[in-house]
Structure 1
């Protein structure tokens, strides 16, 4: 253990121990005490504006064989399920027998000496009870150990978190197939998997039982049918309930719900009396993908605020055209908005790896942690090889929730099959996998990445008026500045010229940084406070493996307008009447490889646009006739029929670059 690691472990252990529900003195670290009754397992910790450290803490235990499939937090414990036989405390050379299930202290990493239910088969799913005194355990097994004796359990049971003993009041009877996921909503436990009957009653792939007694709950009785791949078994492999308990997303190998097409993904409305099928269908997962998979959907997770959910997949490379267009469901992480509806819901963004699987996603306010055996991110252009835009992110990545691009965070890990589960807490991120090396260090199957020593992410701020508008007139080289409140235009004055404005083709500002695109095919960042310019930095992160020729040669030299809004660069091009966009992550400097575009709309002709910015939900734009105009800004484009002229033609607003000043964000 390095000196830094030792200090980190000491500080983290102290901080965690003082923040847990039970004082450390009440019980030895290896034998968990009862925790106070609190609400059920919350959604992933928000971790607002933060990203975890890329250097794992040194205290987590080792899983000496097999693989981890599931993890959950209960009070001061992390419970781990999978397929394994031996674990070991950090710094120890002594193996501890633990068959497929164990628990360890979240602050010290010490394996619980009393929690050892030892189910006979693989544990795929874990869910804390509402009172945090027990855990529901699902998988593929027929018995477990309770009070020193083997007891019969059929793929699902509930165990005391201190003793590991089965809680006899919870009896689900026979499930004739494996349980793959669990979710608690009030006193109702949702069960998903590869079964057809629960307690002798037909409930294919998805069911609800009473969380106290295990009795079948009639709340859910929809009929799931069909398959993605012919000859396979209908199943639901993952489920996720929104933080307000109002919606459930189910993914797996199915085609219909109550006879209505919902291929591999269905959304249920959780009403007061019964679960009903929501008006929410996407065709993204009707892509064929590789026939090797009965279903290629792998995980789903809600955002902490419940406004969107994230889905990950396997499936092999989905082809150039579909991946560039964002219409392939293969080997991709995608964001879906809760507020969408209808028969053709499309994702907000799609993040392709180039043919590698993402097995698990964990969502915080600003980060999608994506784990699998991926080698790259931002790689839609080629299968099983890096193409333009690709950045190396072996085994785990942190994607922006806003645009799907990777942050600079890149701990690396040996790939194996991949990361199968992650748990975000107020203290950091726990990661479970089937491999032993994380960030170049030995962390067998389990790693913890602390939040306290992680980085703060750049603030996300929208443009606002009144403000200072800077511009360089068409064919000119002097930067001008004027105050603007959205309607009244003041006289302009010369601003300091600290860059080669005569060759600039577009500019925008984000958090005190000025981004300028040049006719020489480059994009540059430098600080700017309205007077002083910082040293220039070339934006080339996405060029490090394969030069991003499509961006540098196909877009930048032809730009006639450039502006930024909420994680995306928007631009017009010489000879085109369309508005183009690419995602852009300012924290990492990654330019998205996918390029999208929309047509001009009545009142807004993109072909004649010459300078623009977005502020307060409005697009302010200059035209080649010298006018200044305003239109309502929608989703990736201006809304038709909303354009208003602020300054008439001949007013001299046509610009080679225009931007709204935005100072550095305050800490």
Structure 2
């Protein structure tokens, strides 16, 4: 669908909603989310926020953020849940700063954390570290420190033996590499990769086949080629792909890729979620505007789950605080409504794994029932 046609359609829909609620109900009925709106009871967290999480094949969940406890156990910005949803009593690493990113190695033996810290379990580590996935012990022979002016790691993603690192830094593992880099999963050594970015990276996501590294942030160029805030990079050569989106909307906050790799999603600081088919067109297929930023996106074959500090769908007039779901093909809101309440930051992390949608953020209750900072929704979000 052409961009101007889509905008015209959205204006018509918004006007119809204002005139009466019947069209809104029809829009909502066009798609139905596949997970329960009521989370499964699990251990809650004390503190402020879960910023990211990783789900291991074992069913254990690793949580990173800015918090002080998981269940009854004191925890400093890092913790874990057992497959049962209870707090893991054995996983107890500490950091002296917040954890903004969590990723696991493909074999599930290691967990990587990024953020703004200088120590992990009392050992010097600059914003990036590797942990034993079971015990949480620091892997001491793995080190890839970042440095720069107020350096931080904002995003991590793993494909094969590469850990992709995005954020704000000037060097990593002692090498000059700004904002985006790849390091070895097993070694921590900087991987030779001839690409560079001229602004901070907020999100890095690798296509399922590992061929393309999608990045979003505050940059305007990738390897000297104009790419406003969002683009794809060849994982082998470091050269930006031919995709050059026609819609901007400001700095990109987060990025997601569909399970088949054919769709890519980007959210912007002007509160839009855009859907693209990069091999088909530079134009977005659809765009959905929220009342606040979308900070997390998880994609299933039938719907897309979003989290952020929004309260409603702007064009549709449908209220959905912090967590919501949209139709895969159109971006229209579905009927899924967990009735989330909590702190303003709302949802920060969403991961689909098997028959669960995992959510992390600053929420505290769902439909009046307390579930702090982490929630697990059961259903069928995957085929």
Give the shorter-chain TM-score range.
0.7 to 0.9
Deviations 1:457-512 (A, max 9, x none): 9xxxxxxxxxxxxxxxxxxxxxxxxxxxxxxxxxxxxxxxxxxxxxxxxxxxxxxx
Structure 1 distance, partners of 2:378, 2:324, is 15
Shift of 1:396: 1.3
User: Does the CA contact (< 8 Å) of 2:73 and 2:89 recur in 1?
Assistant: no
Q: Which residue of 1 aligns with 2:266?
A: 311
Structure 1: runs of 5 or more not aligned: 1-48, 89-94, 226-233, 289-294, 315-329, 381-388, 458-667
Q: Which residue of 2 aligns with 1:535?
A: none
Q: Which residue of 2 aligns with 1:412?
A: 339
Alignment partner of 1:280 out of 224, 231, 243: 243
Any idea what SS the aligned residue of 1:238 has? strand
Structure 1 distance, partners of 2:138, 2:44, is 25
Matches within 5 A, 1:362-401: 362-377=298-313, 379-380=314-315, 389-401=316-328
User: Does the CA contact (< 8 Å) of 2:206 and 2:214 recur in 1?
Assistant: yes
Matches within 5 A, 1:538-549: none
Q: Which residue of 2 aligns with 1:447?
A: 375
**More strand by proportion, 1 or 2?**
2
Count, aligned residues = 348
Alignment partner of 2:356 out of 408, 428, 438: 428
Q: Which residue of 2 aligns with 1:601?
A: none
Alignment partner of 1:105 out of 74, 79, 82: 82
Structure 1 distance, partners of 2:262, 2:245, is 17
Call closer, same or farther: CA 1:411–1:174 in 2, change over 3 Å: closer
Shift of 1:50: 6.3
User: Does the CA contact (< 8 Å) of 1:417 and 1:434 recur in 2?
Assistant: yes
Q: Which residue of 2 aligns with 1:223?
A: 196
User: Does the CA contact (< 8 Å) of 2:257 and 2:265 recur in 1?
Assistant: yes
Alignment partner of 1:71 out of 45, 53, 70: 53
TM-score with structure 1 length normalisation? 0.51
Radius of gyration: which is bigger? 1
Shift of 1:174: 4.3
Alignment partner of 1:204 out of 167, 171, 178: 178
Mapped pair 1:195 → 2:169: yes
Structure 2 distance, partners of 1:439, 1:346, is 38
Q: Which has the higher contact order (CA 8 A, sep 6+)?
A: 2
Any idea what SS the aligned residue of 2:178 has? coil
User: Does the CA contact (< 8 Å) of 2:128 and 2:153 recur in 1?
Assistant: yes
Structure 2 distance, partners of 1:244, 1:431, is 25
Q: Which residue of 2 aligns with 1:582?
A: none
CA RMSD between the two structures: 1.9
Deviations 1:609-659 (A, max 9, x none): xxxxxxxxxxxxxxxxxxxxxxxxxxxxxxxxxxxxxxxxxxxxxxxxxxx
Mapped pair 1:138 → 2:127: no
Q: Which residue of 2 aligns with 1:340?
A: 280
Structure 2 distance, partners of 1:173, 1:264, is 25
Deviations 1:226-247 (A, max 9, x none): xxxxxxxx31010111111111
Any idea what SS the aligned residue of 1:307 has? coil
Deviations 1:7-54 (A, max 9, x none): xxxxxxxxxxxxxxxxxxxxxxxxxxxxxxxxxxxxxxxxxx961011
Q: Which residue of 2 aligns with 1:153?
A: 125
Q: Which residue of 2 aligns with 1:299?
A: 254
Q: Which residue of 2 aligns with 1:438?
A: 366
Shift of 1:310: 1.4
Matches within 5 A, 1:528-607: none
Structure 2 distance, partners of 1:280, 1:125, is 27
User: Does the CA contact (< 8 Å) of 1:263 and 1:283 recur in 2?
Assistant: no
Structure 1 distance, partners of 2:309, 2:210, is 32
Q: Which runs of 4+ in 1 moved over 4 A?
A: none
Any idea what SS the aligned residue of 1:418 has? strand
Call closer, same or farther: CA 1:173–1:57 in 2, change over 3 Å: closer
Structure 2: runs of 5 or more not aligned: 1-31
Structure 1 distance, partners of 2:160, 2:353, is 21
Q: Which residue of 1 aligns with 2:64?
A: 81
Mapped pair 1:124 → 2:100: yes
